[in-house]
Copies of this chain bind each other. A is one copy, B any other.
Amino acid sequence: MTAKPRARELGIPLEGIPGPYNAITDVSNVEVGYATLIEGDSVRTGVTAVHPRGKMDHDPVFGGVFSFNGNGEMTGAAWVDEGGLLEGPIGITNTHSVGIVRDTIIEWQAMNNALFQKWSCPVVAETADGWLNDMNAFHVKPEHVMFALENSNGGAIDEGNIGGGTGMICYEYKGVTGTSSRKLPEKLGGWTVGVLAQCNFGRRYQLTIAGAPVGRHLTDDAPFTNGENPFRQDDGSLIVIIATDAPLLPHQL
């Protein structure tokens, strides 16, 4: 799946200097796991799991939540806000499977002696893959969540139609799960920032790449641009998980 070239390999002049894998896993010990469900015509969904310290280290990390705009389900947000701590793996999935992912993360924590308190309120976020996936059939099962949690790794990780990103649509192209990282120069601290995104939004004409408004020119094969209502895909959404080893307090995250 990663055989396809990444944007920099195509010569697109993106800013900044990536870490060695240009992935969220460039932040030390972060691990990512996926479960991907593709079957027949109407199963295009999955689960992405992000372990902030890797799946073997259950210590919490400082955490924060920021909503740039709009809304969506993100369980566990109230406790991150109040406690400033992220106490276990993060899950991302489709809108209608948030619950099974959340409860199964708790089950995994209980099985692995990884509960930081007597209760757990895991962070699970969603985007809606209802165009490509039948969300009301609840395809995600506990075993898929366990698979994503257990089969995580650091280093090079997959991108594309995988995990929670399997059924995404973005700028009227196929949307995906993607990742990248940036390393600050040593004189600014040398810290690393890594992101993992699940993208499910946007009209074609809004697409810019490295600052160039290419979406205005790539108008072919963009089924949503033809109609009249300009708000039709404005209810899309985007989940971004940001990890860093910079020494920040919770209220700065």
Q: Which residues of A contact B (CB under 8 A)?
A: 67-79, 81-84, 95-104, 106-107, 110, 115, 118-121, 124, 128, 130, 135-136, 138, 187-188, 208, 211-213, 216, 228-230, 249-252
Contacts and interface: CB of A to CB of B under 8 A. Distances in A.
Please list the 8 inter-chain residue pairs (A to B) with the smallest Cβ-Cβ separation, ordered nearest first: A99-B99, A99-B103, A71-B82, A99-B102, A211-B213, A71-B78, A110-B136, A84-B251
B119 A95 contact: yes
A78 B78 contact: no
Given A95-B119, A99-B103, A99-B104, 15 more contacts: A71-B82, A71-B83, A72-B78, A72-B121, A73-B121, A75-B75, A75-B99, A82-B251, A95-B121, A96-B119, A98-B102, A107-B138, A119-B128, A250-B250, A251-B251
A106 B136 contact: yes
Residue among A83, A106, A115, A251 with max Cβ neighbours from chain B (10 Å)? A251
Contacts of A100: 99-100, 103
Contact of A216 (B79, B84, B211): B211
A104 B75 CA distance: 16
Contacts of A95: 119-121
Contacts of A82: 70-71, 251
- Quick one: copies of this chain in the complex? 4
A187 to B, nearest CB: 8
Contacts of A188: 229-230
Contacts of A99: 75, 98-104, 106, 124
A76 B76 CA distance: 11
A118 B103 contact: no
Contacts of A136: 106-107, 110, 115
Given A84-B249, A103-B97, A106-B136, A75 B73 contact: yes
Contacts of A252: 84
A252 to B, nearest CB: 7
Contacts of A212: 213
Contacts of A78: 67, 71-74, 77
A9 to B, nearest CB: 22
Given A73-B76, A73-B78, A103-B100, A128 B138 contact: no
Contacts of A110: 136
Contacts of A213: 211-212
16 contacts: A70-B82, A71-B81, A73-B75, A73-B79, A74-B78, A75-B98, A82-B251, A98-B99, A98-B103, A99-B101, A100-B103, A103-B138, A118-B130, A119-B135, A211-B213, A249-B251
